[in-house]
Structure 1
Amino acid sequence: MSDSFATAQDLSDRWRKLSDAETTTAEVLLADASDKIRNRVSQADDENWCAANARTLTRICCSMVKRSMQQSSTGMPEGASQSSTTAGPFTDGYTWSNPDGNLYLTAEELRDLGISQGRAFTVGMVGHGDD
């Protein structure tokens, strides 16, 4: 089984042309994203499951890395989530959703991978007459 579910070329095809430095970064992040998916989806270690879901795995892996690379290219200091610029009477303000460029799976991606959301349940707090 290959290390990554996607290549830098897959990412470039879905997003934009990457520079040589970005390609190197993308390859590392794609391997990290693939590892994160494998850790969340038990079937991801199964060769047959991966082959059957190859396009979904590639798409999700590329989306994770694209989100990360978009945020890391903003020039924001690490950990910052807001920025504002003022020029005369004009002000621009931004809040980044992923200021550190973390790799994460969205709720939709988790559903696409077959990972169900949590379910509500109750736990009885009264004994069963064992006193």
Structure 2
Amino acid sequence: MTTGGGAPAFATYRDVQDAWRPLRDAERTWAIQLLEAAARWIRRQLPNIAADDPAAKLVSISVVKSALTAGDASGYVSHSKSIGPWSKSGTLANPDGALVFTDWHKEQLGLGPTRVPHYRFGVWDE
């Protein structure tokens, strides 16, 4: 599995399955694309990251799992299912099924939660 730039993704769909659950065919195809997109995002933030970086693998699996969690309820904020007197409902944290890199993911990669430019005003060394 390679990203658009020719570099491999940090994880495979099998890694996602091993960490979570078996994927259906459509989910597998989507997981491959999401893993490639995650690798592109990580490499934009850390251009010199090693191809076998364990943190990049962990983050890739985590963001792809989160994106796939919405499943058939993708696009909905909440869902419910009732069978007789029993019901099950939930609220989706990532209803769009998008790749979301949280502050925790950024911390795992050694990135700060937000990138802020730094300036030095009024100090001159003479």
Q: For the residues of structure 1 that align with 2:27 and 2:83, how far apart are their CA atoms? A: 32
2:38 is aligned with 1:33: yes
Question: Under a length normalisation based on structure 2, what TM-score does the superposition of the two structures give?
Answer: 0.70
Letter aligned with residue 41 of structure 2? K
Per the alignment, residue 63 of structure 1 pairs with 62
Per the alignment, residue 124 of structure 1 pairs with none
Offset of 1:93 from its aligned partner? 4.3
Q: For the residues of structure 2 that align with 1:13 and 1:86, how far apart are their CA atoms? A: 30
Change (3 A) 1:33 1:83: same
2:113 is aligned with 1:114: no
Write the mapping of 1:23-102 to structure 2, written as runs, cut at 5 A: 23-39=28-44, 41=45, 43=46, 45-46=47-48, 49-51=49-51, 54-71=53-70, 73=71, 75-76=72-73, 78=75, 80-84=76-80, 93-102=89-98
Offset of 1:18 from its aligned partner? 2.3
Q: For the residues of structure 1 that align with 2:30 and 2:82, how far apart are their CA atoms? A: 33
Q: For the residues of structure 2 that align with 1:85 and 1:17, how far apart are their CA atoms? A: 22
SS in 1 for 2:79: strand
Once the two structures are aligned, what percentage of the paired residues are identical? 32
Which of these two proteins has the greater Rg computed from alpha carbons? 1
Which blocks of at least 5 consecutive residues in structure 1 are unaligned? 121-131
Per the alignment, residue 22 of structure 2 pairs with 17
Which structure carries more helix by proportion?
A: 1
Which blocks of at least 5 consecutive residues in structure 2 are unaligned? 1-5, 117-126
Offset of 1:90 from its aligned partner? 6.9
